[in-house]
Amino acid sequence: MKKLIVVGLVFTLAAVSAFASAKKESSVNSLERVKTAGELAIGIEGTYPPYTYHDAASNKLAGYDVEVAEAIAAKLGVKPRFIESKWDSLVIGLDSGLWDVVINQVGITAARKEKYDFSVPYTYTHGVVIVRNNNDSIKSFDDLNGKSSAQTITSNWAQLAERYGAKIIGTDGFNESVQLVIDRRADATINDDVTFADYLKEHPETPTKIVATSTDVTESAVILAKNQKELREAIDKALAELSADGTLTRLSLKYLNLDVSKR
């Protein structure tokens, strides 16, 4: 029996070692691996207009982040392969190698930088507090203390709400968050000003309003696993070129009607 346990333990350790070695090798040659595969696997939400959504007529993926991702892949000389997932699974998917990168307005935070790497930013926005239009108890970020805020749990907006003392009510996305506010099941939600402006275009009669805007700039970038230096540097180079030739500005104006590609 002891012999079987020892043999099993040796086999398990060998398997773990082999997996770790393969993971390390995959990380070191990340750019080469992507080019060999001929595609960049991209985790994306697909339900976060105007950044990632499905076009009503064609049902194809569209949005600012979608076209930025396609432009990055083109610069790398590969095709983009989009894999859609809920927000709270996107970053986690990097850990298990489900995709190479996430391009879905992922805000750069200190906590995320401890575990993941980021490209240079390609979006700069401001956070806003959104409440029901007859709510006069919240007029600033500080007023969120003790109130409830509907947020996707792992988002930087949830972290911001918690920082101001709000109780987080978890949701699957922005539309659900706003709906909870409308239904009075949450006092507020925080998101970026561009997302809410786009929401207003589709829902002009919504009984919600912005009561506060952050003075801090939120930077969003491509996020990828640690130790993928070659891939990260190639993406940084691609974004620098897309910024220099005006592509990022053009895409931003196309989808957002303002240039969020510059600070």
**Residue 15: inside a domain, yes or no?**
no
Is it the case that residue 1 has pLDDT exceeding 80?
no
Q: Does 138 lie in the same domain as 56?
A: no
Is residue 66 assigned to a domain?
Answer: yes
**Based on the domain organization, do 95 and 136 belong to the same domain?**
no
Handedness of CA 161, 163, 165, 169 (dihedral sign): positive
pLDDT tens column, 223-239 = 999 999 999 999 999 99
- Whether residue 16 has pLDDT greater than 80: no
Same domain, 89 and 139: no
Q: Looking at the structure, tell me whether residues 67 and 117 fall in a common domain.
A: yes
Mean predicted lDDT score pLDDT of the chain = 90
> What is the rounded average pLDDT of the residues 11-24?
39
- pLDDT at residue number 8: 43
Q: Calculate what percentage of the chain has a pLDDT beyond 70.
A: 89
Cite the beta strand spans of 29-136 per DSSP E: 39-44, 53-54, 61-62, 79-84, 101-107, 116-132
Task: Please tell me the predicted confidence (pLDDT) of residue 4.
Answer: 39
Phi, psi of 261, deg, nearest 5: -80, -5
Question: Distance between CA atoms of 42 and 45, rounded to whole angstroms?
Answer: 10
Same-domain check for residues 36 and 86: yes
What is the predicted pLDDT for the residue at 29? Answer: 75
> Are 133 and 210 spatial neighbours (Cβ–Cβ below 8 Å)?
no
Query: For the whole model, what pTM was predicted?
Result: 0.83
Structural domain range at position 86? 29-122+220-256
State the Cα–Cα distance between residues 122 and 236, nearest whole angstrom: 10
With residues binned 3-state (H G I as helix, E B as strand, rest as coil), the percentages for the chain, rounded to 5, are: 45, 30, 25
| Amino acid, res. 212 | A
pLDDT in tens, 163-221: 999 999 999 999 999 999 999 999 999 999 999 999 999 999 999 999 999 999 999 99
Q: Each residue of 136-162: pLDDT tens digit?
A: 999 999 999 999 999 999 999 999 999
Does 158 share its domain with 202?
yes
Query: Which amino acid, one-letter code, is at 113?
Result: K
Give 127: exposed, middle or buried? Use CB within 10 Å, 0-12, 13-18, 19+.
buried
Amino acid at 213: T
Residue 128, pLDDT > 70, answer yes
Residues 206 and 245 in one domain: no
